[in-house]
Structure 1
């Protein structure tokens, strides 16, 4: 038992030993429920674009020209950023030739949809950036033979010649890739060639550089996610250099990186690396290699089970305030947990880690461990500053060999980069974020808040604002009708739009929809930094000034609230608490109309109430004071309303449905319920007597008439009975019957015959005429039912003119005996036996015969 539990215990101890944020905070405190849910059918103000291409994943927004440039599979597009669906777009078809696709097939690739979903032997545009004032620069996979081209931005046409792209663009469209054009130089990071190792390179530059491959790889099976230039040279007191930061995941081998249950060869960790923009490589050592490359581990929540998915940077132009937001997917090897985490990292913390201790590769244990030796001067991996220039180090080529040797063997830092305040901002269960972007938004009160847009793997966008140490998800919006991954997100503050890139097309939607909030409470509860309540116009307005769109003659596509005459300071907004500012303002919206409901006593009735906010709690009040709880006195409180079961008169009254959220109470619906007594069913009444409504003297007359008629009927009945008796005595004596037995073909028969007659078979003599004439010579036979039907009886003789007993002929009928057999009672036409038969003797014979008769338990009635 302990042998099986030891790996799990060791895994837990290893996880707790890894430096990073505290894991003691309950995960439920990190989760956040989107306040509002907007399905695809309720979208408003959106625009769509879809051309004859797939996989619209590469986006470039140029605010100055109001153009959105899109790279897709086999095509490039130039769209109007104000309205991407206005039909004024330009298109470049850039397909791989059939010959190139054939060569791609020969390499073992195919054009079948893969899991992301992409196809391999097409031209996937992976890079699209502004090269200079007149041209754009783009690269595509081109059926595993990458090509790059400079495009005339105004004409938007391909050139007649292309550049080789094998050192600038990945072969595989599914490979992680990131790239930037900085001062004319191309900084890219990916796995370039077919079966090549990953690399960070600089090309189109007088000094082309790449990462080191020997004696060890600086990058180990890396998948790149994001890169950004941080202008650290601006206003730097030490004359620092600008730096490029790269975010990626790679296989790890450092001490404590993996658990006992996980193979270190497959365990992946998140990294952040940096290089100096002014790096020129070494003179003798690290020639054409980076001399400033350093990397560090990036930790968010659960170090062993997090995968970096997307990163965005905010305020990179001012390095003092630069920070990053990263989206991680949290999964375990047993697939017991799938969630997403969002963490924030400040640039100052990243810089502190790169200024800390180093790691070194230990050959004895074949893993990375903390370096405890001395560090040479100038500090390895640092950029050239004013201090170094004063000492004669004007470029990286002037650095000593000892420093370059140290950089070559110690690219990894010992300390990890932990998130701000040591914990994630958000932990979202059952959601897989695929891309995120953000923008700072200044509010009327002065503070600036970071607004993030998070795309999911099933086509939803979560709009969230960072508040203190957590995040508030303002709304979740289904922007794609069919579930598909959000591949890219771009924000345009000038157009007040968010552009979404997906496999099926491009979607444009407004950054805010403040008009959705109809009251002051709704507006402040949303805590949207773009929205504030205007007491003068009684409307929720956009707090930021939208740029003038007079440069375009096309109509404004998005529904934006104009507030040119509204002072921003007059708008009511409470970002921190989300419940203050409307106390003295009666703009709570028009009260809902009172609806009447009438129900019979004992019936059930549902009072609907729709809660627009997922964070609100439904509160029901009866007659304005009595609170109703679920299960109380026949009340059932649900998400759709209040169900009153088995209504009684005390349930009548006025019901109010309120939404309680963040300490505020808002009336949503009002009902007046009336419980009416059930109408009793009319009781059956006896027919009224004819004289019930008559006068007493007339009623007496009716009673006397009825009595006289009754007496007359009694006399007539007595007379008839007397006459019948006289005729019966004149014709003969009454017959008494005894049980008799007769042998029949196919079975036995039980007979009923007169006591004065004889048993069949004892004497065949008799008066034939009497046997034929009437009942004197007849016998009643009882025939037990058997499995085979009895033979049909002989036809009866013609009925006599008069029967001696005054009764009609007995009909033949079936009777049930013992619950499972039948006998046939019929009148026999046989002659009357001559000799008498004792009743006791005949009864004994019948019982003896019945004892040997086998009754059928389940007799088919149709066979009797």
Structure 2
């Protein structure tokens, strides 16, 4: 019976659990690609840092990159081709003012580009921290040059002062929506629309309480709306919870929204949002007692209908309460329903001072607080938010928090990973061979790698499968931004030290059919015609080619039989340790070793590792044929492949007699030749000594030191040149050094028959 328990755990880890107790401890990537220059193209320049702001300009064939003090225009197909660049440095005066306020001149008091948006006229809107004095400008790409225009604007409330503070922004029909801090200290958080008469949130902790802004997006809910609804801008963030009584400041994840047409109130909430509502965002990970915090969000809309949109979000634990990260997905329909039909929370005073937030059970004023101006409101004579009654405005001013939480799809995470901190996420909808589309997630980590994972559904059960983990940066460099270009088929990742362009698929990594099919990568299929794992394109799918792809099951039954491993012959010396290498087909595979037809089990003699078998103190009993098989199973389908085969025999260099062994004969001949050479050198040395004595180059008498008595009777005086030969103590220990120092101690150990034993490593 083969040991498949590990394999089963690795497979089930990504499947939908039946209950919270069934949650897996880990989800393992099928392949791990170590850090290598071939993993993608790297762009960085000397003394330039913070490659963390990007905007795709596919209309220009560019990706525009904002760093510390420099903006680059790079070829979108090859980021090593720099099309243009422009510097935006701080002035000496601005830098001095920044340092006077206690900030570091070399780090804080620089201009970090934080905002890059494409705007309607083809220009770009760009903002930088500008030595803790944020500024914004317009930028053109004309005649192969990036040009900053002389239209600088105050960036207060648009761009953060602090280059390392999280924020978010969105450009919506000529207007900038931003979520950041309005002051130098970062103590005045706002969600603002920058218009000639700006609209913003109120400075109340019930609105925003020490928020960490993450993501902002525009949803065109007015399109084909039967109720004449308005567009919305959604914001994802975390903040200190006001509704929990906890001994420590407890953070929670939130989603909030405002109406695009919101103009503020007439008397109440003047120039403030009348539509700002927020709800808690749940991502239940195992049995964690503390809420997980959102770190990044990506919106994917498979259809033209906004109700089909899904928000994918990555979460990490707070206060080091866990070492798991998770991905949760939220339906736009579910979020919309919470805000339009859910109940509100209201603060109540308990024991004169303590405030507790409970569900509001009274009657809601009309129109509904937080709602946009729609056909129903217009029928009541309310044409804009300026016409809203004070009762509605006072209610939403004091009660912006919904009682109901937004739950993820299927009330569970899509993916849970132990020991990895997720930082960013982007998602692509990929059409597979049969025409069905599947979401493929690219998840950045704190250790500079990207996880590629796909979600599949079969028999109403969901499964997320990590196809691979690719190391793009050194582990010390976290991924700070991800951008995806479907038109070019590339992923762009940025960190503090550089930017990497990685292909969305690297099907060439899979060298045989079963490996390609077991990868379950929607981008890849095995081409029986060419005998290669190839990237699946619409043209290839429609061509008259025999292609194999099986995403839900990973069924390899249609693949041709794989070649048998090449037999490797090895001879060994008794007593040596033999290491037989065998690479498994993937991280999800189990290695099984056989000697002849019998499977091997771990013992004092046989030690197993993930990629080898170690045979200790090999003897005659260990001769024979060893084979290594890689076994991998998915959805009940099991695949076996022979990865290595060895034949072990005794060598001719042992302690037994073998007169006809060529190596032994040549060794004896070499020893005789060496003895003859030593005799000749001794005769020459003696002749030289005699000649020097004859010429008087050495004094003839050589007395031993005074007080010493000669042992040996009549030995008397000894010539100086011979004194060391007679007066030196006889040493039998081995010399300290060895002319051949490339061997290990084991290799230099001499056995009783004069032969060295060696450890073989294959």
TM tier relative to shorter chain: 0.7 to 0.9
Query: What is the aligned counterpart of 1:653 among 614, 621, 624?
Result: 624
SS of 1:249's equivalent in the other structure is strand
- Note if 1:664 corresponds to 2:639: yes
Q: Residue 54 of structure 1 corresponds to which residue in structure 2?
A: 49
- Note if 1:474 corresponds to 2:467: yes
Query: What is the aligned counterpart of 2:564 among 554, 576, 591?
Result: 591
Q: 1:679-701 CA deviation, whole Å, 9 max, x = no partner?
A: 65579xxxxxxxxxxxxxxxxxx
Q: 1:804-834 CA deviation, whole Å, 9 max, x = no partner?
A: xxxxxxxxxxxxxxxxxxxxxxxxxxxxxxx
Shift in CA distance, 482/392, structure 1 to aligned 2, threshold 3 Å = same
Shift in CA distance, 344/597, structure 1 to aligned 2, threshold 3 Å = same
Query: What is the aligned counterpart of 2:119 among 113, 127, 131?
Result: 131
CA distance in 2, matches of 1:288, 1:393: 18
Kept in 2: contact 1:519–1:587 (CA 8 A): no
Shift in CA distance, 348/209, structure 1 to aligned 2, threshold 3 Å = same
- Note if 1:289 corresponds to 2:272: yes
- Note if 1:574 corresponds to 2:546: no
Shift of 1:508: 0.7
Kept in 1: contact 2:61–2:75 (CA 8 A): yes
Query: What is the aligned counterpart of 1:340 among 325, 338, 354?
Result: 325
SS of 1:340's equivalent in the other structure is strand
How high is the TM-score relative to the length of structure 1? 0.69
Q: Residue 120 of structure 1 corresponds to which residue in structure 2?
A: 108
Shift in CA distance, 439/680, structure 1 to aligned 2, threshold 3 Å = closer
Q: Residue 97 of structure 1 corresponds to which residue in structure 2?
A: 91
CA distance in 2, matches of 1:487, 1:162: 27
Kept in 1: contact 2:114–2:129 (CA 8 A): yes
Q: Residue 157 of structure 1 corresponds to which residue in structure 2?
A: 147
SS of 1:85's equivalent in the other structure is strand
SS of 2:147's equivalent in the other structure is coil
Query: What is the aligned counterpart of 1:327 among 288, 305, 314?
Result: 314
Q: Residue 203 of structure 1 corresponds to which residue in structure 2?
A: 194
Q: Residue 173 of structure 1 corresponds to which residue in structure 2?
A: 163
Shift in CA distance, 682/522, structure 1 to aligned 2, threshold 3 Å = closer
CA distance in 2, matches of 1:679, 1:71: 68
Kept in 2: contact 1:488–1:500 (CA 8 A): yes
Shift of 1:161: 3.7
Kept in 1: contact 2:454–2:521 (CA 8 A): yes
Q: Residue 720 of structure 2 corresponds to which residue in structure 1?
A: none
Structure 1: segments with no counterpart, 5+ residues: 1-20, 113-118, 546-562, 684-791, 793-864
CA distance in 2, matches of 1:470, 1:630: 33
CA distance in 1, matches of 2:537, 2:356: 53
Shift of 1:647: 3.9
CA distance in 1, matches of 2:383, 2:44: 51
Q: 1:694-753 CA deviation, whole Å, 9 max, x = no partner?
A: xxxxxxxxxxxxxxxxxxxxxxxxxxxxxxxxxxxxxxxxxxxxxxxxxxxxxxxxxxxx
CA distance in 2, matches of 1:23, 1:191: 43
- Note if 1:35 corresponds to 2:11: no
Query: What is the aligned counterpart of 1:521 among 507, 514, 522?
Result: 514
Kept in 2: contact 1:531–1:542 (CA 8 A): yes
How large is the RMSD of aligned CA atoms in angstroms? 2.6
Shift of 1:599: 2.6
Shift of 1:652: 3.4
CA distance in 1, matches of 2:109, 2:162: 9
Shift of 1:640: 2.5
The number of aligned residues is 625
Kept in 2: contact 1:339–1:432 (CA 8 A): yes
Shift in CA distance, 569/375, structure 1 to aligned 2, threshold 3 Å = farther
Query: What is the aligned counterpart of 1:299 among 259, 265, 282?
Result: 282
CA distance in 2, matches of 1:533, 1:23: 34
Shift in CA distance, 569/314, structure 1 to aligned 2, threshold 3 Å = farther
CA distance in 1, matches of 2:321, 2:393: 46
Kept in 2: contact 1:300–1:424 (CA 8 A): yes
- Note if 1:533 corresponds to 2:519: no
Structure 2: segments with no counterpart, 5+ residues: 1-15, 659-706, 708-762
Kept in 2: contact 1:342–1:425 (CA 8 A): yes
Shift of 1:609: 0.6
- Note if 1:641 corresponds to 2:612: yes
CA distance in 2, matches of 1:591, 1:274: 60
Query: What is the aligned counterpart of 1:379 among 338, 358, 368?
Result: 368
Kept in 2: contact 1:380–1:403 (CA 8 A): yes
Kept in 2: contact 1:75–1:93 (CA 8 A): yes
Kept in 2: contact 1:601–1:678 (CA 8 A): no
Shift in CA distance, 665/381, structure 1 to aligned 2, threshold 3 Å = same
- Note if 1:191 corresponds to 2:181: yes
Shift in CA distance, 668/566, structure 1 to aligned 2, threshold 3 Å = farther
Shift of 1:601: 4.7
Shift of 1:220: 1.0
Query: What is the aligned counterpart of 1:352 among 328, 331, 337?
Result: 337
CA distance in 1, matches of 2:281, 2:469: 28
Shift in CA distance, 584/382, structure 1 to aligned 2, threshold 3 Å = same
Q: Residue 622 of structure 1 corresponds to which residue in structure 2?
A: 595
Kept in 2: contact 1:31–1:427 (CA 8 A): yes
Shift of 1:386: 2.7
Shift of 1:531: 0.7
CA distance in 2, matches of 1:601, 1:505: 53
CA distance in 1, matches of 2:545, 2:25: 33
Shift of 1:516: 0.7
- Note if 1:74 corresponds to 2:64: no
Shift of 1:23: 11
Shift of 1:336: 5.9
SS of 2:488's equivalent in the other structure is coil
Kept in 2: contact 1:300–1:343 (CA 8 A): yes
Q: Residue 443 of structure 2 corresponds to which residue in structure 1?
A: 454
CA distance in 2, matches of 1:44, 1:270: 34
Q: Which has the higher contact order (CA 8 A, sep 6+)?
A: 2
Shift of 1:482: 5.8
Q: Which has the larger radius of gyration?
A: 1
CA distance in 2, matches of 1:607, 1:631: 16
